[in-house]
Amino acid sequence: MGIQITPSILNADPAALGAELARIGSADWVHVDVMDNHFVPNLTFGPAMVEALARSTDLPLDAHLMIDDADRNAAAYVEAGAGSVTFHVEAARAPVRLAREIRSAGARASMALRPATPVEPYEELLPELDMLLIMTVEPGFGGQTFLDLCLPKIRTARRLMERHGVQTWLQVDGGVSLETIERCAEAGADVFVAGSAVYSADDPDAMVAELRARAQAVSPPS
């Protein structure tokens, strides 16, 4: 699939989200950060907002669920129109069942790891996943500093994917910018979430193109 750039609307103007989506036309996905004020200390969107966003853009939606009890709530985001739904393994009681439910409801199934959660225990789950998200900040807020300590885990995840021969996408989220995207691409990431880097730029779509070019310089399209 190659490099994909997925702007997060967390730091976009919440009163003008329709217009904000129109400013990232060349993105591959729109990343929607769902926070419940329990799993993370912040509160954002629910399924109704995801449904409204899906009506206002042709780009597919990538819902990142930072919520407790992902098992019971993830399906609502598929129904709301998300093309990819990511749950945190730390919040899932039955991650295999949950990934299968998301897939059978018609979305791509993705699992996220917080910075302190190792990837090795989940090696056998990779064939169940369309994407693995390695957080490169503690989830909860946009605009945080990229955590270099997560780079070895990205490398490990890429190695495990190669060992299992899976096509699972490897996403990074948190502090991804022109400064840090090459490090992530070198480590093996291929899907890049960028929030403040995109929406603090004068031209968000030009920033999407610049980020893509930086990552492709490290991993040229085959």
Interaction site with Zn ion (CB under 5 A) = 33, 64, 173
Dig out the tokens for 73 from the structure.
């709530």
Using rule CB under 6 A, residue 183 touches ligand DX5: no
Alpha-carbon torsion angle 164, 165, 169, 170, nearest 10: 50
Phi, psi of 23 (to 5 degrees): -90, 0
The helix (run of H) or strand (run of E) holding residue 134 is: strand 131-135
Beta carbons of 71 and 54 less than 8 angstroms apart? no
Concatenated DSSP letters of 71-106: HHHHHHHHHTT-SEEEEEGGG-S-HHHHHHHHHHHT
Write down the catalytic residue from 28, 33, 62, 130: 33
Using rule CB under 6 A, residue 144 touches ligand DX5: yes
Binding mask 3-42 for ligand DX5 (x = CB under 6 A): -----x-xx-------------------x-x---------
User: CB neighbours of 153 closer than 8 A, spacing ≥ 6?
Assistant: 113, 118, 119, 134
Q: Assess whether 33 carries a catalytic annotation.
A: yes
Write down the catalytic residue from 36, 62, 173, 190: 173
Using rule CB under 6 A, residue 137 touches ligand DX5: yes
Contacted entry of ligand DX5, Zn ion, none for residue 219, CB cut-off 5 to 8 Å set by kind: none
Q: Assess whether 173 carries a catalytic annotation.
A: yes
Binding piece for ligand DX5, criterion CB under 6 A, among 18-26, 44-52, 103-111, 169-177: 169-177
Active site residues: 33, 173
Under the rule (CB under 6 A), what is the footprint of ligand DX5? 8, 10-11, 31, 33, 64, 137, 139-144, 173-176, 193-197
